[in-house]
Structure 1
Amino acid sequence: MQQLDEQDYIRSKLFSGDRSAVRRYADLVVGPGASYWQLARYELITMLFGRVSGALGLVLRKLFYPRLFRRCGKGVVFGRDLVIRNAHLISLGDNVVLDDGCVLDGRGAGPQGVTIGDRVILGRGVSIQAKIGPITIGADSDIGMHTVIHSQGGVEIGRAVVMGGGCKLSGGVFQTVRSAGTTAGSEMLQREQTRWTKGPIRIGDKCLIGMGATFLDGVEVGEGAVIGAGSVVIRSVPAYAVAAGVPGRVLRQREEAPALAPAAGAAR
C-alpha cells in the first residue's frame, strides 16, 4: 500500500497559512492560485445561468459553461444546478450529458485530471470528486443517478460501462494508530489516523453494474463482468464473470453466445 500525503487533501490546503475567507473560497471552487477575476467569472456564469430552466437554460449554459473547463467537446448538455469546482482540471468529450444536480470536482486530480469521454451520460445527482488521483470514464458509458465516484488513489471506468443508480466507488484505506497521549503533528495524527491506498479502482470495458453496488479500494473488475445489485466488491473480479453478494463473490463465468446458423436458403 501507498500512504497518501495529507498535504494533498483539501483540509490542509484550506487551513494552512493565514488567508482570507474569500481566498480560501477561491481555492476551493476555482483552484489554488486562482485570480479574483477568475473567481468573479466563475460566480457570474454559475449564478446567472446555473438555474435557468427549459431550453433557454440549456442554450445559455451551452454558450458559457465550456469556458470553465480544461476542455469541452461539441454538443455537451449541461443540466440545471450543477456544482462545478476546479473545472480547469476537468475535460469533457463530445456529446456528454450532465443531468441536473451533478457534482464535478477535480480538486485533487493532479495533472491527469478528470476525463469524461465522448457520449457519456451522467444521471441526475451523480457526484464525481477527485480527492487524490485522477478519474477517467470511457466513451459511451452510462452512470446512473445518485452514483458517487470519489478517488483516493484514482478511478478508471472503461468504455460502454452501464452502472445502475446509487453505486459507490470510493478508494482509500484508513489506518488507526493510538498515540501516546500527544497531540503534536498534523491534524490526522491528532485524530490518530493515517490514509493509504492499494491503487486505483478499475472497472473494465462493457461491464454491467447493478444498482447500489459498492467498490472499495484497489479492486479491479475485468472486461464484460456483471456485478449484482447491492453487492460490495472488496476483491478483484475476473473478466466476463458474474459476481454478487456481500462481500461480492464470483458465481459463474459468462458464456459466449453460440454462433448463429445460416438462414435457410441463404446463398453459399
Structure 2
Amino acid sequence: MKLKMFASELKMYICNNITNKIPSHTYRLWYYRKLMRFKIGKDASIHMSCIFDCSNNFTMGDHSVINPKCRLDNRGHIYIGSNVSISQDVLILTASHDLNNTKIFKGKKNPVKIMDYVFIGTRAIILPGVIINEGGVVGAGSIVTKDVSPYTVVAGNPARPIGTRIKGLTYNASYRRLFQ
C-alpha cells in the first residue's frame, strides 16, 4: 500500500512541478493522456503551469483550451466540452467539506460540467457542482455558485446574469502559443 501511495504522489508531483513547466504541448498532452489518464479531445491544449489534484476524473473535448496558471481540482471530476476557452488563473473546484458534520471534518465532492462553446474570463472561480451550459460566458473575477443557463453571460460575486449571447455558435476555440 505504501508503495502504491508513493507512486501516486510521485506522479502528481511530476505532473504539477515538472510536466506543467515543459514548453511542449506534445509532451504535456502525452503525460496527461497516458500517465494521468485524462480524456482529452483532438486539437485541445492545456497551457503551462496548470495544477491538477488527482489522476483520472478529467474530460476535455475537441478544440478546447485551458490557458496558463489554472487550478483544476478534479477530485470530483471536471467535464469540459468542445470549443471551450478557459482564461488564465481560473480556479475550478469540485470538492469541499461538510461543515455541518459534528463528528468528523469530512470531505464531499461534486463534479463540475462546462458545456460546449463556454468562455470563462480571467480569475473566475467555479464552485463544486456547477454546470455552465452551452454558450455560457463567465466574466473575469466572477464567483460562480449556481448553474449558468445556456447562452447566458454572468458576472460578479456571486455571479448573476447580466446579458445573453447569440445562439448557433460554430467557431473553433483552439489556441496554442509556441512556448506555452
The question of whether the paired residues in 2 share the 8 Å contact of 1:231 and 1:244 is answered with yes
Measured at CA, do residues 30 and 147 of structure 1 come closer, stay the same or move farther in structure 2, by a change above 3 Å? closer
| 8 Å Cα contact 1:114-1:130 kept in structure 2 | no
Q: Return the offset for 1:195.
A: 1.3
For the 8 Å contact 2:153–2:163, the answer to whether it is kept is: yes
Equivalent residue of 1:136, what SS?
strand
Given the alignment of the two structures, is residue 196 of structure 1 paired with residue 108 of structure 2, yes or no?
yes
In the superposition, relative to structure 1, how do residues 256 and 223 fare at CA in structure 2: closer, same or farther (>3 Å)?
closer
Q: Take 1:117 and 1:238, find their aligned partners in 2: how far apart are those partners? A: 24
Q: Secondary structure at the match of 2:54?
A: strand
Identity of aligned residues (%): 23
Q: Could you say which structure has the greater relative contact order, defined with CA pairs below 8 angstroms and 6 or more residues apart? A: 2
Deviations 1:203-229 (A, max 9, x none): 011111100111011000011111100
Query: Using the alignment, how far apart are the partners of 1:244 and 1:149 within structure 2?
Result: 20
* Correspondence for 2:7: 26
TM-score (norm 2): 0.75
Please tell me whether residue 126 in structure 1 is matched to residue 50 in structure 2.
Answer: yes
Structure ID, larger Rg: 1
Pair 222,28 (structure 1): closer, same or farther in 2 beyond 3 Å: same
Distance verdict in 2 for CA 1:166–1:246, change over 3 Å:
same
- Structure 1 residue 151: Cα displacement: 1.6
Instruction: Tell me what 1:160 maps to.
Output: 83
Distance, in Å, in 1 between the alignment partners of 2:95 and 2:7 is 27
Which ranges of structure 2 fall in alignment gaps of 5 or more residues?
169-180
What is the distance in 1 between the residues matched to 2:89 and 2:64?
16
Given residue 130 of structure 1, which amino acid in structure 2 is its aligned partner?
C
Alignment deviations for residues 98-131 of structure 1 (CA, whole Å, 9 cap, x no partner): xxxxxxx84xxxxxx4211111111120123337
TM-score by length of 1: 0.52
Name stretches of at least 5 consecutive residues in structure 1 with no aligned partner: 1-12, 14-18, 32-42, 44-49, 59-75, 93-104, 107-112, 180-188, 258-268
Within-5 A mapping of 1:42-57: none
CA separation in 1, counterparts of 2:112 and 2:86?
14
C-alpha deviation, 1:30, in angstroms: 5.1
Name the amino acid aligned to 1:170.
L
Over 3 Å counting, the alpha-carbon distance change for 1:145 and 1:27 in structure 2 is closer
Q: 2:125 aligns with which of 214, 218, 221?
A: 214
Distance in 1 of aligned mates of 2:112 and 2:68: 20
Aligned residue pairs, count: 161
CA displacement at 1:169 relative to structure 2: 0.6
Q: What RMSD, in angstroms, separates the aligned Cα atoms of the two structures?
A: 3.2
Distance 1:178 1:129, change over 3 A: closer
Residue 23 of structure 1 deviates from its aligned partner by 6.2
